[in-house]
Structure 1
Amino acid sequence: MCPAAATTSSAKPSKKRKQPVVGPPESDSEEESVYDTASDDGEEEEERQELESEDEDEEVEEGSEDDEEDEDEDDDESEVEEEEVKEKKEKEKEEEEEAKKDKKQEEKKAKKDRKEDEKMAKEDKKEDEKKAKKKSEGSGILSNKLFSELPISELTAKAIREMNYTHLTQIQARSIPHLLERKDVMGAAKTGSGKTLAFLIPAIELLYHLPFSPRNGTGVVVVCPTRELAIQTHNVAKELMKYHSQTLGYVIGGNNRRSEADQLAKGVNLLVATPGRLLDHLQNTKSFIYKMLKCLVIDEADRILEQNFEEDMKQIFKRLPQNRQTVLFSATQTPEVEKFAKLSFEKNEESKEKPVYVGVDDDKSKATVEGLQQGYCVISSEKRFLVLYAFLKKKQNKKIMVFFSSCNSVKFHAELLNFLGIECSDIHGKQKQQKRTTTFFSFCKAEKGILLCTNVAARGLDIPDVDYIVQYDPPDEPKDYIHRVGRTARGEKGKGSALLFLLPEELKFLIYLKAAKVTLTEYEFNQKNVPNLQSHLENIVGENYFLNQSAKEAYRSYVLAYDSHSMKDIFNVHQLDLQCYGNDLELISYGFGFDTQHKTQYVQFLVTLQKVAASFCFRNPPKVNLDLDSSAAKHRKKMRRVDGGKRHGISASNPYGRKDKDGVDKRQFARF
């Protein structure tokens, strides 16, 4: 029952109702009073019962009403419960579907994670294998093997100790054991990796154990592409042979040929030579004893091919004994080098042994050494020299090498910088050998200084403690870039920096460098730090006759060198603001009788390179004859004259011509 109903029923009995009086009239007698009292009590009882029955009826009615209300409420509650159950079922269904989706996603993710884990496990395994291999071989350039562990003579070991070498480099550790066993070896390693000691130590041991003496003649020949590299190799061999009795010497272009012949006649057991001069002595020096040659070493084979010494080397191979050990080292491996290697390793028909290939950089991710910081800057033509001047002036207490594209450019910039108070030296192919040698060794011994050079100093030379390599003119190819920057950061823990100057049109060269595993960072020069000296420089060059002539030659050589680039899609001479003066062309066409329609085929164009000329300190661009095909035409004309001429005595076996009638050899040799 509801609380309201209960309150109502409990309140009703307390009500007093007025009842009608029923019975006989009042009397004074005792009987009447008794009768009256009894009748009154019965009536009251009846009334009370009636009232209770009424109350019960009311309570029943109220209870039925309450029950109806409760039933309605129960119905509402059941409907709500049904809706809740329905919603709950729908929610559970949705949750099941989501759970299925989540399960599928988790399965996919788990599958993907498993694949990634497997991939990472494989990579970790490879990395661990590499680390284990690296740990067994050593880190960086050096290996874990010691020179004291090599099976070499005490005389050589003592010299190595005095040179302060303890650990072998990677190329030395892999190649020296094979060379000591007198096997043919073809080696490939970065510049500055220790190739010189790798072939000199076994060569010296070979001479020691045979043993060789001066009367036996030459037992080992080392062929180098340049004079400077030959002199440097000779000096290293001299240190290694300090306690040996065998003799040592070198023959290079530019030296006195007669004194070299006298030296060979006395007997040189280990001979270092450049290709042209070696072939000369093989052909013309009768006192040169080489029939007992045991080993031929070819250093920097790729550079030898680049300098067009292939024909000379073929002649050398034919003249030297076939039963010999052959060693070939190269910084880069190209199809031309492989072809050349096959030719150099040709032996007699009885020998079927193949050369051992040793490569230490095949799996490296970088083509340059670890301690080298490399960058480039994009500079317009007219600002190039100003930036170079500012850089060199700031770094005068450092050791710097600056590379140019031509000999004339090196000569002019050396003269101009010295005139401006920046002391520098220069090396190029047009210098006499004595000056080149003196300059080279002076720079090697110097703690600081600036050396301007061409590619003649780009390969093989071991110049200690070079801080900066600046490539003022970009190289022909990425491999030339690698060789140039190899002059710094040499040896274990070596550090250095390299800077490449590029024109805006030459930025595509970076793509080729990246393909060659060379990555550069862009450097920006603050224009406030670049002095505004252009007008002052123009006055100097305009007023100084010798500087003016030198600048013109450098300007012309720069354009010709630019035109000779092998990568024409990047280094296009026609992108250098070439402007031909129509009046000049018409005047020349008229003067020589050329038709203006065909004048481009016959006339040497007079051109003006405006921005380029500014980098050579010209106020008004000079007019110079730039016959871009003249060199090739002169070469073809010369070859026709040689082939069609008479009494010159030139042939494949005697490329230097006929001797005098009296038999005296007075021919001039100016080859490498």
Structure 2
Amino acid sequence: MVRPKTSKLKLQNRLSEVNEIELLNSWIDSGKPDSGTNPLSQPHPPEKGRIGRLPDGSFSPYSGAEKFTQLPLSKKTKDGLTQAKYSKMTDIQRASLPHSLCGRDILGAAKTGSGKTLAFVIPVLEKLYRDRWGPEDGVGCIIMSPTRELAGQLFEVFKSVGRHHGFSAGLLIGGRKDVDTEKERVNELNILVCTPGRLLQHMDETPNFDCSQLQVLVLDEADRILDVGFKKDVNAIISQLPKKRQTLLFSATQTKSVQDLARLSLKDPEYLSVHEESETATPNRLQQTALIVPLDQKLDMLWSFLKAHLGSRILVFLSSCKQVKFVFEAFKKLRPGIPLKCLHGRMKQERRMGIYAQFCEKNSVLFSTDVASRGLDFNKAVDWVVQVDCPEDVASYIHRVGRTARYLSGGRSILFLAPSETKMLEKLQEKKIPIRFIKANTKRLQPVSGLLKALLVKYSDLQYLAQRSFVTYLRSIHKQRDKEIFDVAKLPIDEFSASLGLPMTPKVRFLKIKVKDKKVSEELTLVPESNAAENRFKLLKETSGTGISDEAELHTEGGLSLKMVTRHFGKDNTPDIRDDVPATRVLKNKKLKINVGRPAGRHVVFDDDDVDGSDTSTSPTKLANAQTWSDSSKLDKDIVNQRYTKLREEVTGVDEEDKASYRQHLREKRIKQKMKLKRRRDEKGEGEGEGDLSGSDKEAPTGRVSKKSKIYLHDSEDGEMRQGTRMSTDSITLAEQEEMALKLLSSMHS
């Protein structure tokens, strides 16, 4: 029997794959680099012959190789690299691939845009290929990414380099509606590129989802995934993974925390920081500048910058989603002359991916949160990275500016710092970041706050966005850990609110004044500008038993003059005084003086009793005595309590009388309505309840409109229950009403 030609080809391919895998395993074992060494320091291997063979028949060493062809890689992987136009390795690839191909755990740290993605894509493909992994084997590799955009980018690299392999791969990210489709196919996938939340969802909900055969776990942007924000999800995921596996961690700012590494069960990992001894921690082709911009002038500076660089591709970073939405919507209505886009975490996934693709295609401005700061590689170089808001730490700065000057291209970045955030410059310079300080050219500054004010008047929804932008920015500053840089008390809050076009400063309820090692409480007290008020304030200081600082004068929307009284308590509960209490914006110059010496809650009425002097509680003499109450040196609390007790009793008594009167009124109203219905029936000759129903339906009863009148049932002569007509009556005496009620009751019981 002659086998078909296709069967022979499959058999030949299978045999060639088996032979290739045996040669690759022999090559890897023979040239394995020593643990703890850096392959970058190894000499370049000599030219090889067929599959790494030297002329003498031995395998060539691959540690120190510069090209992918010098590594023990399968033909399918090499063909994929060639078609994707990858030929020469970068530093992180040269340092990590010799160790990762041997199956060792890796902690890889390198500058942004240095090729870390291929450093783990290649070992994953080779590991599954040498183990002859198939669809029936299930999940063999999991790659976790902190953001959806980065996960999508990694998935595209896998498809490009692994196009000749037969592995099945899937992209599991949130924000999509095809969860049910994923659940049906996820058990057949060999490679999962995912975000932690989506992966945990499948582990919890998908039937028969099994990761017990996992071979490789990869964490891209590992420091972010191991951060507090993903801690719960990552711990839950790792608890369901086998401990016997290869783990690869890559990031531009790698973690060295023993606790983080213990969570991942790493075994003798190779720590490879190829740029640790470099002169700079950022790409060499990146030009970095910083300038001091007051908080209330940042939008003016941003607008002026965009108008001066209309032909560039610009990535603008802001702190919160609400800021991104407000600046995008406001600038879009002002039309700077360049296409505008926005990207933030609250957008739907399809829209996020579409905006990312559009920004890669043509020059435009992309307003974004830190969701675009991690790992994203824009196809065409980003010309400028503008950081309007200060990054939370040096690592965030490095990831932000890493979106430009990637691989061999150049780029520029600019950082806007408020005067209270200048400490960030020192921290950046300490981490070997060559940032240059420049002065802003105020002559070319184009103010935009006036235009924003006009927009907020015209568009009410934009005013709401401005208010939320204001609050979320202050909240982001308030939550920062580094208080040397981020201090809300040092910010010009009122000027910042006005720069957004807001007519008044929104309330910020979460802000509290804090002093080192002291607990501070705030109170707003109405204090008039008079001698009586001063005496009242002194009295409060004497009787409160706590330390009260001097008043900080405030002004509210209605021009009401207020004083902020701040109590400070130290560790030993001793009072402390502080004068630098921040004040809200002054909205009106005029002040309304309020006489707080007058007893609160007293309604003075002059009637005949007051003239006769019989009622002294509201007499002019009593009022005169009350006006001098604030000048007294002591406050008799017993008298006040007695007065309040007496008033409560009076109010309670009056309340009971009102309730009883109202109940009697309702009772009389119901009886009157019943009598009216009875009289109407009598007038129509239907006293026995045998009339037709149509007559009662045609005429509405004259009772309460909101509630239907009752319909009574009466016994007919043949013993059947029949619906009676509604009764109506005019105003009659109480005796007649009682008599009619008795007749009605007797007819119902007879």
Give the TM-score taking structure 2 as reference length.
0.58
Q: 1:626 aligns with which of 490, 503, 509?
A: 509
CA contact (8 A) 1:144 1:167 kept: no
Which consecutive segments of 4 or more residues in structure 1 shift more than 4 A?
A: 132-137
1:259 corresponds to: 181
Q: 2:135 aligns with which of 209, 214, 224?
A: 214
- Alpha-carbon distance between aligned partners in 2 of 1:296 and 1:417, rounded to the nearest angstrom: 43
1:478 corresponds to: 394
The structure-2 alpha-carbon separation of the partners of 1:534 and 1:185, relative to structure 1 and needing over 3 Å to count, comes to closer
- Alpha-carbon distance between aligned partners in 1 of 2:141 and 2:163, rounded to the nearest angstrom: 17
CA contact (8 A) 1:217 1:288 kept: no
CA contact (8 A) 2:471 2:506 kept: no
Give the TM-score taking structure 1 as reference length.
0.65
1:30 corresponds to: none
Superposed displacement of residue 391, structure 1: 0.7
CA contact (8 A) 2:222 2:254 kept: no
Alpha-carbon displacement from aligned partner over 1:10-52 (angstroms, at most 9, x marks no partner)? xxxxxxxxxxxxxxxxxxxxxxxxxxxxxxxxxxxxxxxxxxx
Superposed displacement of residue 481, structure 1: 0.6
Q: 2:278 aligns with which of 364, 379, 400?
A: 364
Superposed displacement of residue 525, structure 1: 3.2
For 1:342, give the aligned amino acid: A
Q: 1:426 aligns with which of 342, 352, 356?
A: 342
1:663 corresponds to: none
- Alpha-carbon distance between aligned partners in 2 of 1:231 and 1:615, rounded to the nearest angstrom: 38
Tell me, which stretches of 5 or more residues in structure 1 are unaligned? Answer: 1-129, 138-142, 347-352, 578-608, 630-672
- Alpha-carbon distance between aligned partners in 1 of 2:255 and 2:167, rounded to the nearest angstrom: 36
1:441 corresponds to: 357
The structure-2 alpha-carbon separation of the partners of 1:305 and 1:516, relative to structure 1 and needing over 3 Å to count, comes to same
Helix, strand or coil for the counterpart of 1:145? coil
Superposed displacement of residue 133, structure 1: 5.4
CA contact (8 A) 2:65 2:71 kept: no
Helix, strand or coil for the counterpart of 1:623? coil
Superposed displacement of residue 556, structure 1: 0.9
Superposed displacement of residue 622, structure 1: 2.9
1:63 corresponds to: none
Superposed displacement of residue 485, structure 1: 0.4
Q: Whose helix fraction is larger, Structure 1's or Structure 2's?
A: 1
Q: 2:438 aligns with which of 523, 526, 539?
A: 523
1:341 corresponds to: 261
Matched, 1:614 2:498: yes
- Alpha-carbon distance between aligned partners in 1 of 2:254 and 2:364, rounded to the nearest angstrom: 34
Superposed displacement of residue 307, structure 1: 5.0
- Alpha-carbon distance between aligned partners in 1 of 2:149 and 2:241, rounded to the nearest angstrom: 24
1:392 corresponds to: 306
Q: 1:556 aligns with which of 471, 489, 502?
A: 471
For 2:263, give the aligned amino acid: L
Alpha-carbon displacement from aligned partner over 1:321-353 (angstroms, at most 9, x marks no partner)? 2221111223223453x421232135xxxxxx5
Describe how 1:226-245 pairs up with structure 2 within 5 A: 226-245=147-166
2:419 corresponds to: 504
For 1:149, give the aligned amino acid: Q
For 2:185, give the aligned amino acid: Q
Superposed displacement of residue 419, structure 1: 0.8
For 1:246, give the aligned amino acid: F
Matched, 1:459 2:374: yes
Alpha-carbon displacement from aligned partner over 1:137-194 (angstroms, at most 9, x marks no partner)? 9xxxxx9701121211111111111111111011111111111111222212222211
Alpha-carbon displacement from aligned partner over 1:354-387 (angstroms, at most 9, x marks no partner)? 2222220221121111000000111122221111
1:570 corresponds to: 485
Q: 1:160 aligns with which of 64, 75, 81?
A: 81
1:403 corresponds to: 317
Helix, strand or coil for the counterpart of 1:528? helix
Helix, strand or coil for the counterpart of 2:89? strand
Helix, strand or coil for the counterpart of 1:547? helix
Superposed displacement of residue 402, structure 1: 0.4
2:681 corresponds to: none
Superposed displacement of residue 615, structure 1: 2.8
For 2:358, give the aligned amino acid: S
- Alpha-carbon distance between aligned partners in 2 of 1:134 and 1:365, rounded to the nearest angstrom: 22
- Alpha-carbon distance between aligned partners in 1 of 2:331 and 2:171, rounded to the nearest angstrom: 35
For 1:385, give the aligned amino acid: L
Superposed displacement of residue 430, structure 1: 1.2
The share of aligned pairs that are identical, in percent, is 37
- Alpha-carbon distance between aligned partners in 2 of 1:365 and 1:429, rounded to the nearest angstrom: 35
1:469 corresponds to: 385
Which segment is superposed worse, 499-508 or 435-444?
Answer: 435-444
For 1:544, give the aligned amino acid: Y
1:659 corresponds to: none
For 1:504, give the aligned amino acid: P
For 1:509, give the aligned amino acid: M
For 1:537, give the aligned amino acid: L
Tell me, which stretches of 5 or more residues in structure 2 are unaligned? Answer: 1-37, 46-63, 513-750
For 2:489, give the aligned amino acid: H
Superposed displacement of residue 575, structure 1: 0.8
Describe how 1:294-333 pairs up with structure 2 within 5 A: 294-333=215-254
For 1:319, give the aligned amino acid: Q
CA RMSD of aligned residues (A): 2.2
- Alpha-carbon distance between aligned partners in 2 of 1:481 and 1:532, rounded to the nearest angstrom: 27
- Alpha-carbon distance between aligned partners in 1 of 2:42 and 2:73, rounded to the nearest angstrom: 25
CA contact (8 A) 2:494 2:505 kept: no
- Alpha-carbon distance between aligned partners in 2 of 1:543 and 1:135, rounded to the nearest angstrom: 69
Higher relative contact order (CA 8 A, sep 6+): 1
For 1:624, give the aligned amino acid: K
The structure-2 alpha-carbon separation of the partners of 1:318 and 1:381, relative to structure 1 and needing over 3 Å to count, comes to closer
- Alpha-carbon distance between aligned partners in 2 of 1:146 and 1:447, rounded to the nearest angstrom: 33
Whose Rg is larger?
1
CA contact (8 A) 2:330 2:455 kept: no
